[in-house]
Copies of this chain bind each other. A is one copy, B any other.
Amino acid sequence: MKRLDLIFSERELDEMLKCLEKAEVPGYTVMKHVTGRGPERVVSEDMEFTGLGANAHVIVFCQEEILERIKNSVQPILNYYGGVAYISEANPL
């Protein structure tokens, strides 16, 4: 099985989760209030109160074939708003 790590701005979280649901992932895990730096932006904790929010880190454990579907819908969001997506191997305990 695969593990997908998505990191992007919290403000796109709802849209992103809809993509995941459409791709019929078996489940997902969300960590909010995440900060970081990417090629374009620095996201820092002290700005959260403005509503700009922080990043979200979403983890999905799923079969490889689902990844294809996710890729098609998630990639445009990441390209437009920024954020990263990485895949690694993972197996159930």
Contact = CB atoms under 8 A, between A and B. Distances in A.
Given A27-B36, A30-B36, A90 B84 contact: no
B36 A93 contact: no
B35 A30 contact: yes
Nearest to A70: B93
A7 B29 contact: yes
A29 B55 contact: yes
How many chain copies does the complex carry?
Answer: 3
Contacts of A87: 90-93
A78 B93 CA distance: 11
B39 A1 contact: no
Interface of A: 1, 3-5, 7, 26-39, 45, 55, 57, 59, 61, 67, 70-71, 74-75, 84-93
